[in-house]
Structure 1
Amino acid sequence: MSDTVAAPSQAAPRAAVVATALELFAAQGFDQTSVEQIAQAAGVSRSTFFRQFGGKDDVVFADHEVQLDRLREFLAKPHEDPWAAVCEASVLVYTHFVADPELARRRYAVVRGVPALRDREIVTVFRYERLFDEYLRASLPGLDPLDAVGFAALVTAIHNHVLRKLLRGTKKVPVSILRAALDDARRRFGVLPEGAEAGGDEVVVAVFPRAMPTAEVARRLREQLDT
């Protein structure tokens, strides 16, 4: 066991155990670190560790389990705009990880180095996507399933793209970056309310003769929009 890991108190909360485990995984390697070493360093018994997490791989994804439960509670509440609620759920998760970027980066490094953990991460990401998909279908009766799964997949992909920018870099990536990208996703689906766009895009109306070639219509529109 690395002697650089400080042991929390005996009543260490789950978050402290997770942090200790990730520090050990980063220092010694995932396969080389035992549950006994994690429990000792975190100041908890082996049985307490298994009761809280179940296994080494479970401790790596413990935050995701907490966040998924948190999102289920959030989405179970009344929301005036289901599309916005899905985006806000994404922001809630991102806000959690951006609060401690170094811990998030350590987890990312551990997962990236262990194929079995990478496989589980793919499954975990899909759980977020499925949660959003099911919520939209339940909240918007009659919604085309393709629209539900498409929006859920787009929000999840945007979230992961922005999160990876944070995890792979050394600088902060503010929540505003994610919000702007999610607003663009709603705009693409036509579900962003008027006036919600930053800067308020203008509406352009153009009239052309029916016989005008499509290429010329596109050229004239591009010319006008670029001015």
Structure 2
Amino acid sequence: MTSGTGAPRRPDAAGPDPAQFRVHVVTQAIRLFSEFGYESTTVEQIAAAAGVSRRTFFRQFRSKEDVIFADHESLLEQVAGYLSGDFADPWLAACDAAELVFGHFRDRRELAVWRYRVVQRVPALRERELVTTYRYERLFTDFLRAAVPSAKPVHIVSFAAAMTATHNYLLRAMIRGDDTATSEQLHRALYEVRRTFGVVPQAAAGAHPGADLPQRAVTVVTFPVGASPAEVAEQVRRELEQNPPTS
């Protein structure tokens, strides 16, 4: 498509779909970061690669760091929107939301790999990633507190930490190229988290334990009485790393 002068029309002049525009800029930015390094890549280079002006870039993103995690911002909104519905089984709904996040990055694995490599090289980005992970965990915690007011707060916080740690372990394994880190494996692992915390409905657990799961993997985690939710989550992560569930 061209402008009246015959020159190619720039995306910022055409008024592109905001969501598609952000995806396009994010993809170009992370590609450049992966190829040339985060610190060496300038905003001007990103704008040029995306075919937009510097001003347009800053209308959408505050900094290069924001570009790295832009799709997480969109995902957090999507997860919050999903969890705003009514659910017969809130514990399962929280796990389903985690699977939505996994599916997003599975379908965009190449971009996820680029970002993983960039983040691992830059300490400030690793810190931002930890904050982003906590935001997902807090979203699950707040949802469950509202949806299951009778549950003990420590039970909810521990569950949210365990399911987030399980998701993140398999997500990173998938990004690193582990063929066993699939959506099905995550589904099985999250089922076991629910079963361990005793939140699988009795009818489902009694009549057809894990009926929707072709295979079952059991992970046993022990921790001291009085351990904090963060310590529980860390122990789950360590156990999964040392004894990953088999498919």
TM tier, smaller: 0.7 to 0.9
Q: Residue 29 in 1 paired to residue 76 in 2?
A: no
Q: Residue 113 in 1 paired to residue 121 in 2?
A: yes
2:52 aligned partner: 44
Moved over 4 A (4+): none
Q: Residue 75 in 1 paired to residue 75 in 2?
A: no
Distance 1:199 1:19 in 2: 36
CA offset at residue 64 of structure 1? 0.5
Q: Residue 163 in 1 paired to residue 171 in 2?
A: yes
- TM superposition score normalised by structure 2: 0.75
Q: Residue 14 in 1 paired to residue 27 in 2?
A: no
1:153 aligned partner: 161
CA offset at residue 54 of structure 1? 1.2
Give deviations 1:89-127, integer Å, cap 9, x for gaps: 000000000001111010100001000000000000000
1:161-200 aligned within 5 A: 161-169=169-177, 171=179, 173-193=181-201, 194=205, 195-197=208-210, 198=213
CA offset at residue 14 of structure 1? 0.9
Distance 1:153 1:188 in 2: 13
How high is the sequence identity, in percent, across the aligned residues? 48
Give deviations 1:40-81, integer Å, cap 9, x for gaps: 110111111111121100000011100000011000111111
Q: Secondary structure at the match of 1:13?
A: helix
Return the letter of the residue paired with 1:21: A
Distance 1:184 1:14 in 2: 36
1:124 aligned partner: 132
8 Å Cα contact 1:53/1:59 also seen in 2: yes
Distance 2:188 2:55 in 1: 45
Give deviations 1:111-169, integer Å, cap 9, x for gaps: 01000000000000000001111111111112111011000000100000000111112
CA offset at residue 172 of structure 1? 7.0
8 Å Cα contact 1:9/1:42 also seen in 2: no
Unaligned runs of 5+ in 2: 1-8, 217-247
1:210-221 aligned within 5 A: none
Q: CA RMSD in A?
A: 1.9
Distance 1:41 1:33 in 2: 11
Number of residue-to-residue matches in the alignment:
194
Which structure: larger Rg?
1
Unaligned runs of 5+ in 1: 1-7, 202-227
- TM superposition score normalised by structure 1: 0.81
Distance 1:162 1:135 in 2: 23
